[in-house]
Amino acid sequence: MNYTKDPNQTIRLERRGDSREVERLWLEGITIGYIVSGKMALHTPSGIMQLYAGELFVLPEGAHLVEYQTTEDRLYEEILFSVSRELLSTILRELQLFADLPRPSRPTLPTNHIAHQRAGRTLTSFMAGIRSYLAHDIFFRCGTMARMKTNELIYLLLSDGYDELSHTLGHLATLRRESLERFAERNILSRKPLAELAAEYGMSLSNFKKAFREELGQTPHRWFMARRLELAARLLISSDEQVKAVAHECGFTSPSHFIRLFHARYSLTPVEYRARNTTPPIDSRPHLPHPKAERD
């Protein structure tokens, strides 16, 4: 359950039982979490990271693979602060200006870096207070309070020796997301489901589709189909590959489906398109005699 109406930030309390399988956790914003009870296993490209009760963690937006485990008959419980990249950058800038705190940064961190540290006494008490606020719906009734507590949390992380967490926040705040068009161009030939591409770009599927229409003027399906057909057309006139091979190389699993789509776009079959747009090699052209030199 979300406890603020501000789309740029949420504060929520999550309770879960044991995971029966690996789950996909979707995060719309950069998330600072605190495990109240139980433990969580994060599946990362470098292995499984175990996080325990009393630990703080920072996760970038997007999809994460997780497992939850209860302990001593207590449900897994966590408090999550989620902020947009823009709001996080604003908060860090304000703290730098008005609280005389340095702006953290570590440009060598990977984009999907996950940081975690054990909470000290001050932050443990802070999270206990947040849990009480959540129980009484205070953040839902007062969005300003949510922003104040988010600022306070980040202030404590920056000022109280949580270097790994604060550097990660500084790094995530300064990252610039690759343009959607460039990301799509890199994935023209990808056979991944659209939901997986959306997750890689750090968006939910619905927001990914909406951004596509707003920025590129088409649905993802139409855009990818048009670009793949354009690539196929270039391959037809620049290579001697069979139509079936061109279709497969451009991401079409069915040659007959590719031919129908190609004809709908270019009003020619691939074979006709190649014949009309390919210049025959010199050796196959009709031999023409050289013109005779004129005599004076």
116 vs 94: CA distance, rounded Å: 24
**Per-residue pLDDT averaged across 69-80, rounded?**
89
pLDDT at 102: 61
- pLDDT above 70 coverage of the chain, percent: 83
Closest CA to 88 of 162, 163, 31, 13: 31
Do 147 and 218 have their domain in common? no
Residue 25's pLDDT band (boundaries 50, 70, 90)? confident
Do 144 and 232 have their domain in common? no
Average pLDDT over all residues of the chain: 83
| CA 95 remoteness from chain centre | 27
**Per-residue pLDDT averaged across 220-231, rounded?**
92
pLDDT at 290: 44
CA distances for 259 relative to 92, 237, 279, 293, angstroms:
54, 15, 22, 50
27 strand-pairing partners? 62
The encoded tokens of residue 211 equal: 């951004």
82 strand-pairing partners? 10, 31
**Per-residue pLDDT averaged across 202-219, rounded?**
87
Do 123 and 219 have their domain in common? no
102 vs 93: CA distance, rounded Å: 9
Closest CA to 179 of 217, 209, 136, 211: 211
Residue 296's pLDDT band (boundaries 50, 70, 90)? very low
Strand arrangement of the beta sheet that strand 55-59 belongs to: 9-16, 76-83, 30-37, 55-59, 115-118
pLDDT at 137: 78
Do 135 and 186 have their domain in common? no
Chain segment 3-22, per-residue pLDDT in tens = 555 667 788 889 888 877 78
Tokens 């007062």 belong to 142
Chain segment 111-133, per-residue pLDDT in tens = 667 899 999 999 999 999 999 98
Evaluate whether 164 touches 115 at the Cβ level (below 8 Å).
Answer: yes
Cα dihedral sign for 184, 186, 188, 192?
Answer: negative
pLDDT at 46: 74
Q: What angle do CA 65, 71, 77 make, to 5 degrees?
A: 55
Do 245 and 228 have their domain in common? yes
pLDDT at 129: 94
| Residue that terminates a domain, selected from 131, 151, 174 | 174
Model-wide pTM > 0.75: no
On whether residue 202 sits in a domain, the answer given is yes
**Per-residue pLDDT averaged across 10-39, rounded?**
87
Lowest mean pLDDT among 9-13, 105-109, 120-124, 212-216: 105-109
pLDDT at 153: 95
The total number of structural domains in the chain stands at 2
Q: What angle do CA 261, 220, 222 make, to 5 degrees?
A: 25
**Per-residue pLDDT averaged across 92-104, rounded?**
73
Do 46 and 152 have their domain in common? yes
| Residue that terminates a domain, selected from 134, 157, 174 | 174
pLDDT at 294: 42
On whether residue 283 sits in a domain, the answer given is no
CA distances for 114 relative to 145, 171, 172, angstroms:
27, 11, 11
State whether residue 203 is helix, strand or coil: coil
CA distances for 44 relative to 35, 169, 285, angstroms:
18, 19, 59
Residue 103's pLDDT band (boundaries 50, 70, 90)? low
On whether residue 284 sits in a domain, the answer given is no
Evaluate whether 81 touches 153 at the Cβ level (below 8 Å).
Answer: yes
Do 112 and 76 have their domain in common? yes
Chain segment 39-72, per-residue pLDDT in tens = 999 988 778 899 999 999 999 887 788 999 998 7
State whether residue 111 is helix, strand or coil: coil
Do 185 and 170 have their domain in common? no
59 strand-pairing partners? 31
pLDDT at 139: 72
Residue 287 has pLDDT above 50, yes or no: no
Half-sphere exposure of 37 (CA within 13 A, CB side): 16
Q: Which residues span the domain enclosing 61?
A: 9-174
118 vs 110: CA distance, rounded Å: 22
